């Protein structure tokens, strides 16, 4: 597996803090699969994971993680990294 990507951006939205690891332009398709959400729930209640299928191949990887806003930005960064590592390891 490749090294864990760095966080590209963190944006606070209505209900979530959106932690982006990869540019959405890298992907043909982006989805929020149930299996990834279940994996994320072990780390952060209510978290959602967006996965993307890369344009150049059939690899599906984490594009971004959405953490409930009340966690705060610092905790959201930490939890998003934990979720990414759990899914991609």
pLDDT in tens, 15-48: 999 999 999 999 999 999 999 988 899 999 999 9
Sequence length of the chain is 89
For the chain, percent helix, then strand, then coil, each to nearest 5? 35, 35, 35
**Is residue 1 pLDDT above 60, yes or no?**
no
pLDDT at 76: 98
Cα–Cα distance between 51 and 68 in angstroms, integer? 18
Q: What is the mean pLDDT of residues 48-77?
A: 94
The pLDDT score that the predictor gives to residue 2 is 54
Number of H helices, E strands in the chain: 2, 5
């Amino acid at each position: 597996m490749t090294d864990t990507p760095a966080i590209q951006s963190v944006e606070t939205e209505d209900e979530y803090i959106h932690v982006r690891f990869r540019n959405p332009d890298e992907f043909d398709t982006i989805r929020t699969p149930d299996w990834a959400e279940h994996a994320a729930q072990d780390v952060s209640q209510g978290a959602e994971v967006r996965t993307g299928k890369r344009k150049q191949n059939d690899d599906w990887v984490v594009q971004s993680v959405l953490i409930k806003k009340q966690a705060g930005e610092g905790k959201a960064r930490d939890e998003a990294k934990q979720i990414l590592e759990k899914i991609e390891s």
